[in-house]
């Protein structure tokens, strides 16, 4: 038997309750920052839970779901830079006001402070 290591949009491991709880908490106080940790052994359904959350929030114009694959940066001395860059680039791609921000960000990163 071959098992595929890919996240599922269909709940095969009964993790939908976890995803629903996280979604409910995110929607309860959208004006406050919140951090969730999804922990579990390999194959426990962590990525599937995240896919379910993203799928549920997809139509909401106020929400941007960004993915970051930490495994790609395993062993890097400073993965934080890659994470921050991923967030900034994801926001630039997802928002219509991004070109103005992009111009300012690239202006600042070129060494100019104006």
41 has a pLDDT exceeding 80: yes
Distance CA 6, CA 43 (A): 9
- The residues spanned by each domain of the chain are 1-65, 67-114
What is residue 41's DSSP assignment?
S
Top-confidence residue, 98 or 48: 48
Top-confidence residue, 1 or 70: 70
Cα torsion 10, 49, 62, 21 to 10°: value is 110
This prediction has a pTM of: 0.67
pLDDT (0 to 100) of residue 1? 60
Distance CA 27, CA 29 (A): 6
């Amino acid at each position: 038997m071959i098992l595929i290591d890919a996240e599922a949009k269909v709940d095969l491991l009964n993790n939908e309750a976890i995803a629903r709880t996280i979604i409910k908490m995110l929607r309860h106080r959208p004006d406050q920052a919140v951090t969730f940790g999804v922990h579990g052994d390999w194959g426990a359904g962590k990525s599937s839970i995240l896919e379910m959350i993203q799928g549920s929030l997809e139509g909401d114009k106020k929400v941007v779901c960004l993915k970051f694959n930490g495994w790609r940066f395993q062993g890097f001395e400073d993965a934080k830079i890659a994470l921050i860059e991923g967030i900034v680039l994801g926001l630039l791609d997802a928002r219509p006001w991004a070109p103005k921000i992009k111009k300012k960000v690239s202006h600042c990163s070129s060494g100019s402070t104006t």
